[in-house]
Structure formats: C-alpha cells, structure tokens
Structure 1
Amino acid sequence: MKRVLTRRVLLRGLGASLALPWMESLRVWGQSVPAGASLPGAPTRMAILFAGCGFHSREWWAKGQGADMELGKVLQPLNDLRDQMVFVRGLYNAEALKGNIHSSQTGNLLSGAPLASGGTIRSGTSVDQVAAQHVGQATKLPSLVLGCEKANPSIHKNYSMLYSSHISWSSPTTPTPLEVYPALAFDQLFGSKGRETDRSVLDAVLEDSNDLRRTISGHDQRTLDEYLNSVREVEKRISQAGKRGELQGWRPTLTGPNIPRPADGIPQDIVEHMRLMCDILVLAFQTDSTRVTTLKLNNDHGALRFPHLGVDYMIHHLLSHTDSDDWLKVNQFFLEQVAYIARRMQGIQEGERTLLDNSMVLLCSSMLTGNHDASSLPVVLLGGGGGKIRGGQNLDYSDQPDRQMCRLYLSMLGKMGIERTEFGDATQPLAEV
C-alpha cells in the first residue's frame, strides 16, 4: 500500500524536521488525488545567481545553437550543459544607466525600478520576492536569500552601497535579509536551531526515516539514502569548516549567541564557502523547503580575493578593470559554481524529469564588463522551467526596440504560473523564453 503524504508532512525528531525529496511512492507535493488520476508533478523553481562587476570583455560570447553552440572562455565550464542553456544577449535595464556606477546598476537589477540617490534607500520589489509572495505559502520558507560576501552599508558616488550588496528586495525600501553563514542557512532549512543538543539533524529524525523506509519502493529507498547522504555530507563540511575557523559562522547552540562575532574581512576558504552555499541551494529545492532562491556570489564593487587561483594581489572590483588572464580565471571560477549547481540538479530525478528540468537557474550581473558597461547585460538561463523552456538557444535582442531585462522576468514568472501584465518597465514577456 502506498503511503499518502501531503507537502506538510516531514520526517520529524527532537527539535528538528527534514522535508522529503520527490518520490514515486509519495505524493509529497500534491493534495489527495482521486483514484485513477495521475500524480501531480514537481513544482517549478526559480534560482537567481549574481556575480558582480561583469565579465571579461573578449570572452563572454556564444555562437551557434544547440549542443554544438560554441562558447567563449568565460562560459566554457558550461560546455556540457549547452542543450540546457539559453544564452541571451542585448537585454538591459534603462534605470541602471542613469547613475552609471556599481550601486546604481545593481540595486534595481531584479526590479527595473528607479533608485533613490543621496544615501536614501528606495528601489523596487525584486522578481524573486514577487514570486515568493505567490508561491511561498506552499513551502517552509517563502524564499532563501544567500550570499558569499557581507553587505557594505557605506556610500559610493552618491548611492548607498546597500544597493550593490543586495539583489533581493522584499519592498522598495527593504533589502531581503542576506544569509552569509552556511550553518545558519542550513538551520533555516532543517530547523536545527531548536534542538537541545548539537547532534546531527539526521540523528534526530532517524527513527522516523526508518519507519518511512518500510513503506516505500526500493527505488525510493535508494532516493532517500542518496538524499540523506547529501544532507550528512553538508553537515560534516559545515562542522569541519567551523573547526578550521575558515568560515564566518558555525552551528549555533542554546548556551551562547547564535553566531560569534564575524571575523574581519572575508572567509579564508572561499572555495568551500561558495560550494556549501551551492549545496544548500540544491537541498532547498530538493526538499521543496522553498521554490525561490537567490545566491549572490559576491558584491558588486566587492572585495573578495582568490588565493586558490594564484590571484591574491588585487581585490575582485579592481581586478575587473584589468581584462587580464587572472580576471578570466576568476570569471571561470564563478561559472564553475553555476555549472556545479546545474549538474547537481540534473542528477536528481523527479519522476520523468530532473530537478534541473523543473527549474530555472539564472546567472546575471549588473554590467557586461568591469568598465561599468550596462548597455547590454550578461544573461545565461539554465533548466527547463517545468518543461516550458527550450534549451540550446542563443538569443540576441541587441537590435530590438523592446529589450528590457524585465521582459525576461515576466517570462520566468509565467513559468511559475504567475501571470502579470507588467513588471518593472516591461509590459510583455520574451516570446522565445
């Protein structure tokens, strides 16, 4: 007999809960289904990744179509994903051209709204939060907003640097809280802050998971094992990183502050920091803890360094003005994070489709190159959008009159079942996406 679960049923233990991945034996995302009716499919998710300061001016390009599409060196980490990719050239944000500086080009990237200057904070509600307002009631978290660099509250060229530190805005005057601590992001998904001990969330739900195994198919038992192993691996890596003192945070306890005073500067191990955030993003979708995420790999006008690449002599922002081989290395490192997320999602089966097929993973930046050129924004979209997006496309809107970036957002909202007649400065979606 098949065990019937709704979306609200989780594995539970002392102070912890663990959402389930898609399984053929369980109706995790559906309500009750009449006899003979087909099971509901997996939901459509939206992930937006941001890399500040644009990319190498001579190596961000694509030629051709489909799996044979030729990619510039920046995009080569995505070579094996070309049939799942839509490369978009020529979209822009008209409001971002008014200030022509980092903050004024980033604060409205996901909204297309006018920005207030002079240190005043006013932007627009970003597309991820518009989506969260519509679909967030069905999940544990309306959205998950992650970052790998702390916010900068200063002023630059008459604009608040909060604009360059946040791409997600819950309202025109409120940037969505940004989580840069992997352990605390993990806690948001699995509720481990409420546990009386510091033991694993998996240990806490072990009895319930063993009961579940006895009621599901052999295929789903393997799916469950793979998923639990993924959660365990992230737990171990967070714990090890905290012991090394290389990340800004570790799992909090009830006997002291939730987090210690963050170390000055940036995480020493940026590779592990970014990879943990990527894994947490995938887990959030896999468990349907949320259907909307943003991951800011760095700030625009950011100060990250990259010693693992042999590039430790200049911060990210200054490096972006060089168009050097080292700048290319940094670009490719960022694209490797995008590729890692996509491959992880591609390897997770949800019925007849994969998690990547059921998702939209957008990579964007607030400028095309490090010289503040925002007349055409870099855009790559991965995933099938629930079977509604055709991959392998190379689209160019450079010579078209209506090339607002917000047209893409209207298209993405539509794939999630959110029909709007306008968003930002756009009144029609992109027909090709």
Structure 2
Amino acid sequence: MKIAVWGNELIGWTAATAFAEFGNQVHVNQDINRQQSLSEQSDANTILFNEPGLLTHVKAQYHQGNLVFGSPADALNCPVQILALNPDQFELAKDIIRAVNHQTQQQLIVINYSTFGLGATDQLAELLDSNKQQAIAYIPDQLSEGTAYDNFIKAKTLVIGCQSNEANTQIKALYKPFSRQLEQLLIVKRREAEFMKFAVNGMLALRLGYINELANLADQLSIDIDTIISGMGSDPRIGKHYLSPGCGFGGAHFSKSIQNMAELLSTNRNSIILNTLLEENEKQKVLPFRKLWQHYKTDVKHRKIAVWGLSFKPNTASIQNAPSLQVIKTLLAQGCQIQAHDPQAILNFSRQFPVNGQIAYYDKATDALKDADALIILTEWNEYWSPDYYEMLELMKSPVIIDGRNIMDKELMESFGFIYYGIGR
C-alpha cells in the first residue's frame, strides 16, 4: 500500500516507520509545495532526536527504500493520506485535502492523527468528494514519549472514529500487523473519538493534580503521602496508575489536549475545573524552588544548586513544558549558580539557557554535585534512583536534597545524614 504522511509530529514519524517496516511504501512530506530530503527534515525536527531509537528506525527504512522523501505530487497520489500535523496547522490540513482532491481520481482514505479540536475532522470530511468513495477517520494516538514505537506496534487499544464501513474495514487491515496484542477495538464517530482523546488526558491530569494536592496537604499535616498512596492504590475502584506526586506534569501534546478540553468545558459548561488544574500545575512546577527558598530562609543568592533532570519525563530529550524550565528560570533570577545534568536533554536545554557565569552543564550526574549547597531532582531518570550516597556526601558542600519526584527513600537519606525534602514526605 502507498501511504503519504504529512507533518512533523511524533505520531507521524512513528506511524510512517511502523507502516514501512510491514511492507508499505510510505511518502513523508512536510510541505505540499516543495520537496525536502531526509537530512533536511531530520535536521529541522528535534522529535527524531528526542525519541530514543526513532531516528535509527527511520534511517533503516529509508535505506531499504520503504520510506520515501520524494515529491509532494507523488505523495498526493497515495490512496492513504495520514495527517500528523501540529495543532496550529489546521489550515495546512485543509490545503492538503484540497490538493489531494485536485490530484487524485481514486478511492481515498484519510487518517487524521492531529489534535486540532472537537469537530475538526468533520470539517475536513466536508472537503472530501463522497462520489469518489473518499472517507476520513480520526484515530487518537496513545503514544507515550520515550516508548512511542513500542506503544504503536504493540497497541492494546485501537479507537477508529469513522462513519464509513468500507474505510473502517481498510483501516483495520492496515493496522492488522499491530493488532496481535489488541485487547479492545472501538469503532465510533469522528467527534466521539476526538472527545475521547481529550477526556482521557483530562482524567489522567485530574488524577495527577489531585495526588499533588494531597501530597502538599500531607506536607502540612506531617503525613507521609506514600502511605496514603498505598491505601488508595489498593482500592480496586481507584488503582495505582497516575498516583505519583511530583513537581508537575509537562509535555507539549498532553498539556495542549488538556487546554482544549478546558476550553470545551469552560465554553459549554462554564466549568473551570481543568483551568484550575492547569493553573495549579504551573504552581507545582516551582515547588522544589520554594522548598529550597524555605530551607535557606530566603538566602539563596550565589548558592550553588545542582539540578538532576531537565527533560519533562525520563527517556526523552524533550523539555516542552518541563518543570525544569520554571525552576531554572527562578533559580537564575534569584542569583543562584546552577550545575545541571540530564542524560539526554542538555543540548535542547542549553539552547534556551546557554552556558554562562551562572549555569553550567555536566556529562556525569556526580560532577554536577561538586560544592553544591543543594541538589534538586526534577526528572526520575533511572540513574538517579540509587546513586553512591557516600560520594554525594563527599562532593556536596551541604547535604540538602530536594526530591521533586520522590525517587529516594526519606528514612535512608536521613540515616546517611542528608537533609531530605520530598513531595508530601
């Protein structure tokens, strides 16, 4: 099958690579008016570098000839068109549909992965020619940055939002190689699939926001939130997922989806529940700094602060909406000296905060600890969970740990002589 993929989103590159690996010829394009090579697209696209292993998959399929970076005209002639565009590229999506209609006379299936908003896929459907057996489906992606490829090829759930039986049959056939571990297949209307995407992310965000509120309250009441989480997670009505308190959630798409749902609730229901959650999440991001500020009784100027973790989550180099952005900005504004480490995100972060007299980056986590007045942990990378505590004590000027992800054991840290602050602990 010949497939065209338009856009620079993670779901687009992941789907393109996965479909190519199972025998399809996939044309990847970003512009309907000009051709771009793989090197041009990869150089301009940080997603391929942020997602572990994805660029390797892309290059392998490119060299095998399954991924094609050719002319837009060839892409527009493909019988399957995939839209994986940024949320603000809705007008480009319309232009692509119009161009496809002008170019092709054959049966056409459009798969929209883009998160444009509720009803957007229906608007794109109006641009199709039903007389040519053209149909469009919205498929909400369920990828998690850091494990996107595995999420796609080992999907547990597939939601297809489409009103065409013929198109649904073809889409299921296209997805068959990735359906071997499928536990649930839902065929729904386009608007229902779009709403489902917002609803799921909203629910996850509410769980994260609620557990953070409980953790902050536990701090004030001298209660260990870990004990409370154990009890909550044991209740089958609640479960253990998304019950990890921390210094706020980030990520471009997760946050954007919640914002879209917040706008829907506000416009149609006068509800501010998600707006409030987003506001509180921004406050939560700077909670590690507030703990530092309180520990040193507002005297933080010129203090050396080590920071472990710059990406918004582990296993990605992405820093979009990451708590580290807020924390580092605040530390710099207060005159702190910052010594930062991250396994993957230093390059991206240094573009926004270049090395200068106030901030430096280190290839080894322990090197960032030298003469530090405190360590702030913002991302739960695996290598931070069980460090050499004796080496940390030797390197740090003051053994103060502010654990924004609760990855360390409070009692153990205190037994070593650290002054430990967690979230709700």
Name the TM-score class by shorter chain: under 0.3
| Larger-gyration structure (1/2) | 2
Q: More relative contact order in 1 or in 2 (CA 8 Å, sep 6+)?
A: 1
TM-score by length of 1: 0.24
TM-score normalised to structure 2 length: 0.25
